[in-house]
Structure 1
Amino acid sequence: MEFRTIVDIEAPGFRLAPCEEMLFVGSCFADKMGARFTEERFRTIVNPFGVMYNPASVLHTIQRLAAQQRQELSIVKTAVLTLGTNHVYRLKETGEIVDNCQKRPQSLFDEEELSVDACADYLQQAVAILHAANPQMHIVFTVSPIRYRKYGYHGSQLSKATLLLAVDKVIEKFQVPSSKLNVTYFPAYEIINDELRDYRFYAEDMLHPSSQAVEYIWQRFSEVYLSDAAKAFLKEWQPLKAALSHKPFHPDSDDYRMFMDKTMLKIAELQKKYPNFALPIDK
């Protein structure tokens, strides 16, 4: 007997390679997922200009990346764009949508809700820039499962519905046979709301997914989006990751030095096998 519903995840037309170059832009859920991929030694760029919650701000990040670091953007193989809300804030003085109010008085801004068409337009512009940077780039949209109490729970659901409709509109545009882009949707929002469906999968604020929920979403993503080679790499990397995170009682002992020497030799072997693999440089 099955006591929960399992969300079906449509298989994309691509798979992630080991240590692939990835871009994560969007809400703080993008931060969490990006950090998880970084931990597994994917080469990641995660919200380089801070957390971005709405489609307009996601576009702004991609525009800035293209203008300032076009070469870096061109090597990205997969971009994950995570949307949190359709609410934006316009600076009254200029009418521009700001990405961060920078703790300035609320009276300086007008709050606005973007329509489905406006959200879709911003997202299509973002896709076009990414495609120009790398025509083979894969793009994955997600809608953050984080709830927005300040809108009211009904308002929060309406905001998510707007984003879901906008993403669906964008994906439909790129599913025509003539399209060279692979644009897909990963159902993180649905996994939290329809599959997990329990407050034990939320953090203490009852709004953000718990670390356990984020880990589960990572697992579901991995099942579908990772290539066999990437899954094989992760199996080899896991014991080395555990060894590197081990905190010894006697770090100056001969036994620990021998342990680390063996670990580094295995890492060197892994680097030969996977040329894109690299450890972070200590600052």
Structure 2
Amino acid sequence: MKFHYEFPIKKIPVPLTHYHKTLMIGSCFTENIGNLLKRHCFTVLENPNGILFNPVSVVEAVDSYIHQKQINESDLFLLNETWHSWKHHSRFSDITPAATVAKINASTFAAGQFLKSASHIMITLGSAWVYRLTDAADGEAGSVAANNHKAPSTWFTRELLTAEITQKLLQQMVDSLLKLNPYLQIIFTISPVRHLREGVIDNNRSKAVLIQAVHDLVNQNVATYYFPAYELVIDDLRDYRFYAEDLVHPNYQATQYVWEKLVDACIAKEASDLFKLIKEIKLAYQHKPFNPQTIQHQQFLRKYENETARLMEQFPFIQLTDELNYFKTGFVPREQF
């Protein structure tokens, strides 16, 4: 008997290898996959603006990287004794405007530099609902907030984007990205995270807009690719067992399943063949011996020093410097604990 529906996934034209660089931007599901890529030693830059859900905020963020748009203190607002940006996640917020500006501008600059030499960008869209600032808000009325920073509800109006407007916005972004970096492979996904704060019906309306817009876009642009993370959770697994207790976020098992499908569709075999050894080295690095001075432990360190050095020599883009230093010295820096 079959207990879930599996479907074939189209392979990406340019699969990821360890010498590629990937910028990842979008919802919290982006960070789940980004963490798995980093754990397997891929070069990844995640969410330079912090988590973003709606297409307008994603497009504005990418535009700021491409054109290296730096902000100043007048672009911020003060709420609950903290300075925030409507275009950024609260992890950039600080108690002084200068500190907030410094963090945001440094992240924007780094993202712009990274994007120039990136091989891939993965964009995960979460919701087609946008929240625009009202006249009551401290900010430009009508502009879209990427994060509400727990501001009063009277500061926002809610609007559902259409598929046509969403596609147009994304197309402008694709054109700008390829003008900056003509060899970029642009991967789109739609987050399987359910935005139930909008209600079940409005969540489904939102996902429908994103699905329509992204597929129309991908059909018209050879540099774009769609990975079906949303369909894998909603249609393949299709069971609340694969959601966390909040019934909103996919759980560990679901994320791992999507990861396995991503590896098969989007990662080159010569890269995935190294996963077992990378995992073994990282587990060895986490090993805490009872008696570090024993001959057995010294042999253990020498074995993995040789394995790690050999791997890094053969694949210079795989960075395991901390692990190699530990195997050489037996010493883990204090900040690791």
Q: Output the TM-score relative to the length of structure 2.
A: 0.77
Aligned Cα root-mean-square deviation (Å): 1.8
> What's the offset of the Cα at 1:268?
1.3
CA distance in 2 between partners of 1:35 and 1:144 (Å): 16
> What's the offset of the Cα at 1:252?
5.6
Alignment of 1:198-213 (within 5 A): 198-213=239-254
Per-residue deviation, residues 202-223 of structure 1 (Å, max 9, x unmatched) = 1111111001110110001101
Alignment of 1:101-120 (within 5 A): 101-120=148-167
Paired residues in the alignment total: 277
SS of equivalent residue, structure 2 residue 118: coil
Per-residue deviation, residues 241-269 of structure 1 (Å, max 9, x unmatched) = 22123233345655434423331221111
Which of 50, 73, 85 lines up with 2:115 in the alignment? 73
> What's the offset of the Cα at 1:276?
0.8
Gaps of 5+ in 2: 69-108, 323-332
Preserved contact between residue 7 and residue 194 of structure 1 (Cα < 8 Å): no
CA distance in 1 between partners of 2:217 and 2:30 (Å): 19
Q: Hey, what does 2:320 align to over in structure 1?
A: 279
Preserved contact between residue 312 and residue 320 of structure 2 (Cα < 8 Å): no
Preserved contact between residue 28 and residue 51 of structure 1 (Cα < 8 Å): yes
CA distance in 2 between partners of 1:204 and 1:251 (Å): 41
Are 2:232 and 1:191 aligned? yes
CA distance in 2 between partners of 1:157 and 1:199 (Å): 16
Q: Which moved more, 1:44-53 or 1:14-23?
A: 14-23
CA distance in 2 between partners of 1:64 and 1:20 (Å): 23
Q: Hey, what does 1:179 align to over in structure 2?
A: none
Q: Hey, what does 1:264 align to over in structure 2?
A: 305
SS of equivalent residue, structure 2 residue 309: helix
SS of equivalent residue, structure 1 residue 98: coil
Preserved contact between residue 12 and residue 225 of structure 1 (Cα < 8 Å): yes
Q: Hey, what does 1:41 align to over in structure 2?
A: 41
Per-residue deviation, residues 28-70 of structure 1 (Å, max 9, x unmatched) = 0001011110111100001111100011111122122221343
Q: Hey, what does 2:25 align to over in structure 1?
A: 25
Q: Hey, what does 1:178 align to over in structure 2?
A: none
Preserved contact between residue 18 and residue 233 of structure 1 (Cα < 8 Å): no
Which of 88, 91, 95 lines up with 2:130 in the alignment? 88
Q: Hey, what does 2:195 align to over in structure 1?
A: 148
Q: Hey, what does 1:125 align to over in structure 2?
A: 172
Q: Which moved more, 1:69-78 or 1:53-62?
A: 69-78
Preserved contact between residue 201 and residue 210 of structure 1 (Cα < 8 Å): yes
Q: Which amino acid aligns with 2:36?
A: R
Are 2:264 and 1:223 aligned? yes
CA distance in 1 between partners of 2:65 and 2:293 (Å): 44
SS of equivalent residue, structure 1 residue 51: coil
Per-residue deviation, residues 59-112 of structure 1 (Å, max 9, x unmatched) = 122122221343321111111100100011111242111211222212112111
Q: Which moved more, 1:146-155 or 1:30-39?
A: 146-155
- State the identity %: 33
Preserved contact between residue 23 and residue 114 of structure 2 (Cα < 8 Å): no
Gaps of 5+ in 1: 176-181
Q: Which amino acid aligns with 2:129?
A: H
Q: Hey, what does 1:98 align to over in structure 2?
A: 145
Which of 273, 295, 300 lines up with 1:232 in the alignment? 273
Preserved contact between residue 18 and residue 229 of structure 1 (Cα < 8 Å): no
Q: Hey, what does 1:136 align to over in structure 2?
A: 183
Which of 201, 206, 210 lines up with 1:159 in the alignment? 206
SS of equivalent residue, structure 1 residue 132: helix
Q: Which amino acid aligns with 1:77?
A: S
Are 2:255 and 1:214 aligned? yes
CA distance in 2 between partners of 1:253 and 1:129 (Å): 58
> What's the offset of the Cα at 1:20?
2.3
Preserved contact between residue 121 and residue 184 of structure 2 (Cα < 8 Å): yes
